[in-house]
Structure 1
């Protein structure tokens, strides 16, 4: 396969010439539902690539046809990745320009693309990410849950026991948890999340994002599990669980924290630090810090 000259792309009936791009592997994010979410840079890369590597050529052809792009397509998915990777690597090392896309969203997120990227980097091939739509970020943006820290769990195991084990490993992580799930397993997965993470923990079911039937269901994990059983959500689904509630420190914890702080600072600063960490009144902590400091100075524990 020889490199081809850049073609063009069309938007609302207007045609734009694509520019020549340098050799390498381009990881191109594509729309997760609404085809209007494609970026201009993504269109330029797709129109200039020598080959578009995708999960399903039929799905990707719909996107390319929408924007008047005619480029060769090659299927690359979990069932043929080991066989296809050497062929794609030979093209990349030969100076070709390959665009890697998934059926929807950002490639490498829950698909085999990362192995191709890893091998390309190991062989000195340049990898260029082309950012754009992502289901997990879209869901997080509209969920109404804390966004300062989040963990993406990909797809949870299909078997209940394995799923609960994985959830248990993240149960106390102070972050919003995000996972993808298939429609027929949503109710049981939410039930497991309620059992493992806590029935009263806040959660969100986000489905059909950016599409006509986009929906966010919000509530406790127990409420969402019951709702999914009574009215199963359909389509592409993202599940989110908010961070665990902050643990209220008991008297022994408070004393231990203050003693540790008093080892390096005075009672006033120690009280301020622990008040901020635990939410306890500073005045109360200052009184306790003075008493502990006196005991420590007298050689007690």
Structure 2
């Protein structure tokens, strides 16, 4: 803990604040020095599972009396938040950790932070492990024409078959990168349903940061067969990344039609901006096409 003290100790840690701490998602080495320092510093630790957190603390040589571990999970979060707020109002420092990863992202914590903010108190994030950003960082999602399109975090799809089918059909028309989460017992069903995306690239990332971590990118229509080839490929928690949609060839005619109508009345940049908003096309690609149309005309 000397390194944590040396690096993080001189920093300022306000009292009466909630410290939202990301914890490892598999590899225990993926914890920050600041997180270790704050876990020693705070007056109490709110946690999704007190037994799990106690074991995590002991793995780093930290000991906390059971009375300083407060259970705050999805079933009692709203009610337990009031107890946390009372402690903060007394000037205590409280940490919050979920079982793994970053709280509030597919884990409890969002309601707690919302109520802390409503009480006029401060929540301080301590960043760290996240399966979502880890998968995105290596998926190689390059939008068409090199534009930055961002990503959509969807999380877990509905469990009912009809609702999942509807959700996936809607995602087929989402041009941006989409991040899904899936459990091992449903990954095969999800992969089979993703066949409707055809050649759209999909990255399957399982067991991120763990010993049997595996990340593969392939066409959506091949994902189900890939999983079926080896039983172990369906084991572990999954992050599924749908890569950005490539522009469909059939769109070009409609893009040209809209562009020509707008170019007849508006400056090129304005016409391109409006065409992108109307058609959902790439602004860079539409600008190049607008120049071609003007030169040809």
The TM-score normalised by the length of structure 1 is 0.81
Structure 1 gap ranges (5+): 1-8, 291-301
* Structure 1 partner of 2:239: 238
Which range is displaced more, 200-209 or 222-231? 222-231
Q: How far off its partner does 1:82 sit?
A: 3.4
Query: Would you say the 8 A contact 1:10–1:67 is kept in 2?
Result: no
Closer, same or farther in 2 for the Cα pair 1:36/1:250, shift >3 Å? closer
Q: SS where residue 234 of structure 2 aligns?
A: coil
Matched, 1:38 2:21: no
Alignment of 1:29-68 (within 5 A): 29-68=22-61
Structure 2 gap ranges (5+): 277-281
Q: SS where residue 179 of structure 1 aligns?
A: strand
* Structure 2 partner of 1:127: 123
* Structure 2 partner of 1:223: 222
Closer, same or farther in 2 for the Cα pair 1:264/1:54, shift >3 Å? same
* Structure 2 partner of 1:257: 259
* Structure 2 partner of 1:104: 100
Which range is displaced more, 119-128 or 146-155? 146-155
Deviations 1:40-76 (A, max 9, x none): 1111111111111111223222321122222322222
Q: Which of the pair is proportionally richer in helix? A: 2
Q: How far off its partner does 1:113 sit?
A: 0.7
* Structure 1 partner of 2:70: 74
Q: How far off its partner does 1:261 sit?
A: 2.7
Greater CA radius of gyration, 1 or 2? Answer: 1
Q: Of the candidates 286, 293, 301, which is equivalent to residue 294 of structure 2?
A: 286
Report how many residues are paired. 275
* Structure 2 partner of 1:211: 210
* Structure 2 partner of 1:184: 185
Once residues 278 and 158 of structure 1 are traced to their aligned partners in structure 2, the CA distance between those partners, rounded to angstroms, is: 39
Matched, 1:146 2:142: yes
Once residues 284 and 24 of structure 1 are traced to their aligned partners in structure 2, the CA distance between those partners, rounded to angstroms, is: 58
Alignment of 1:190-201 (within 5 A): 190-195=191-196, 198-201=197-200
* Structure 2 partner of 1:296: none
The alignment's C-alpha RMSD in Å is 2.9
Q: How far off its partner does 1:221 sit?
A: 1.4
Which range is displaced more, 209-218 or 117-126? 209-218
* Structure 1 partner of 2:173: 172
Structure with more contact order per residue of length (Cα contacts < 8 Å, sep ≥ 6): 2
* Structure 2 partner of 1:5: none
Query: Would you say the 8 A contact 1:32–1:135 is kept in 2?
Result: yes
The TM-score normalised by the length of structure 2 is 0.82
